[in-house]
A = this chain, B = another copy of it.
Amino acid sequence: MTDEEPAIPERTVADAVIETLLEWGVRRVFICPGSTEAAFLDATLRHPGLEVLLTTHESVAVSMADGHARATGEPAVVYLHTHLGLANGLAHLDAARLARSPVVVLTGLKPRSVQAHDGFTTLPGTGALAAPFVKRHWQSLAAGEVADDLARCLRAAVMEPRGPAWLGIGQDLLEAGCDAPAAGPGRFRVEAGPAPDPLLLDEAARLLAAAGRPVIVAGAEAARHDAGGAVLDLAERLGGTVFHEDRRSFERSVVPTSHPRYAGLYDPEHPVAAGAGAVLLLGCRGFVEFEPFGRPLLPAAAKVVHSHVDPAEIGRTHRVDVAVVGDERRVAVGLLERLPSRAGGDAGGGDCAGPAPVASRADGVATVEEVVDAIAEVADAGTTVIEDATTSETALLTGLPQFSPASMVTTVSGSLGWGMGAALGYQLAAPDRQVVAVVGDGVFQFGPQALWAAARYRIPVLYLVINNRSYAAVAAAMARHRKRAGQDAGDLSEYPGKDISGIDIAAVAAGFGVAARRLTRARDIPAAVRDLRETGGPALIEILTDPDDLGGRPR
């Protein structure tokens, strides 16, 4: 090889992979690489249309992709290294599974012969690790098939009901020369969401029209299918009330929380819910147990209509009178077409006045409610709150105004640390929004490496860490356990597994290159937010709250 005649790189499978991604509209890959991804990284230099987002832990790569997919509704692609990288990404892949995010996880595997010999970083049947979390898992067997294999994963991810998919690619295959064309969406993508059955819509409409005081519980899938407007129209037509899913199922808002028809998170003991003659569960999981419910979740006398794009979700934990499989917007519109006009009813349950103001504690310790109010002060219709704050969750979901489905995004997976990366992916995909990640200190420690990516790419997410220096959820569980055993809660300070004090989160953030403040007074948050936003980059505010606040109080 001479300077005059540079070697023109042969087209490799890695090129075909990238061409395929670009044809599907994928412009970013979230990667935590090892040696097995070298050919892919090299090929990205030949395809400047694909941006490589480097991360320093797989949990960050996967949660970033999930956040990105939630913002765009289109596939987001992660590239991990061997079964080890895949393992490190699984917990947040569970969040993508539950949110039906079209996250496609590629995993670089060792050359096929090295796999066969139990070589370094190999595990027979690596795909089995991904299997419980994805719709499709496949390890490519031949170089000529890899691009098509990828397209089949992308296709699976975007077909309803949506969800993640996994593809393993051996290093030898990735490096191989390739004549196969890119596998664009034309050959593979099918838009064929299920239409609701008209006869079942007839039946559901009759039931809802006949019942007194109908209630709609609107879930994350209704938001994903852009059903918010139709839900409100339906509530008006029925003279009914709209709830969002309860905390354990809630992933994003569907209707504005200020709307007079909106009554809060669903609670079977809410007077409007308890008195309902019919309940329409629209695109919600209905219901997710944390511990056994111990009480009925639906009014005994109410008729129940459950609609969801995924038949597996319908009637999973409760009785159903009419089940409708289908896109929730089409279901809501179909019901509207079948319902007679009737005067706006009396069942609006909206708490239009908003939450009551919060009194400060005499000892000056910041309360979670004060923190929520401070966030509300700086949040507007352009703000997206990425919520991952465990015992502060109820206060956040019930205390923050939600203007649109983009106002509040969370996970029901329980996978701590998800918000650290998801906020970055969401912000990249929605550069015009102001993303605020509200996380707990325990959560922070599950994803501090996200700050490295935030700083590297100057992603202007504001992290707000509610630092109670406790695993408060563990303490709350211990108190419940003692109550079940007929004992007093005892002294919280003696609970093992509760105290996680000792870290200066603002100092850690600064070490990662993120501008940070540690605060003790919630009322200082808005000014700090305004100051830090002037940096134009990522920022973090740590606010110290009461270690013994075990959370759970709605507003």
Contacts and interface: CB of A to CB of B under 8 A. Distances in A.
A413 B84 CA distance: 9
Contact of A54 (B44, B452, B481, B500): B500
A7 interface: yes
A84 B414 contact: yes
A407 interface: no
A434 interface: no
B496 A505 contact: no
Nearest to A414: B121
A93 to B, nearest CB: 8
Interface string A370-397: 0000000000000000000000000000
Interface in A91-125: 91, 94, 110-111, 113-114, 117-121, 123-125
Interface string A481-495: 110111110000011
Contacts of A42: 478, 481-482
Number of copies: 2
B452 A485 contact: no
A41 interface: yes
B449 A119 contact: no
Contacts of A442: 56
A241 interface: no
Contacts of A124: 132
Contacts of A357: none
Contacts of A446: 56-57, 449
Nearest to A123: B132
A507 B455 CA distance: 15
A94 B123 contact: yes
A288 to B, nearest CB: 5
Interface string A14-33: 00000000000000000101
A109 to B, nearest CB: 12
A87 B446 CA distance: 13
A129 B494 contact: no
A476 interface: yes
Nearest to A488: B1
Interface residues of A, number: 101
Nearest to A481: B38
B485 A118 contact: no
B120 A290 contact: yes
A414 B41 CA distance: 20
A412 B88 contact: no
A456 B500 CA distance: 9
Contacts of A128: 128, 132
Nearest to A8: B487
A473 interface: yes
A56 B290 CA distance: 22
Which has the most chain B C-beta neighbours within 10 Å: A128, A171, A512?
A: A512
Contacts of A129: 90, 129, 132
A423 to B, nearest CB: 18
A301 B484 CA distance: 72
Nearest to A455: B502
A410 interface: no
A118 B316 CA distance: 8
A317 interface: yes
Contacts of A142: none
A508 interface: yes
16 contacts: A9-B487, A10-B485, A45-B494, A56-B500, A94-B123, A111-B291, A114-B289, A120-B288, A120-B414, A121-B413, A128-B132, A448-B449, A452-B500, A456-B502, A507-B511, A511-B511
Sort A-B residue pairs by CB-CB distance and give the 8 closest, nearest first: A507-B511, A35-B477, A508-B511, A119-B289, A87-B90, A38-B477, A121-B414, A56-B445
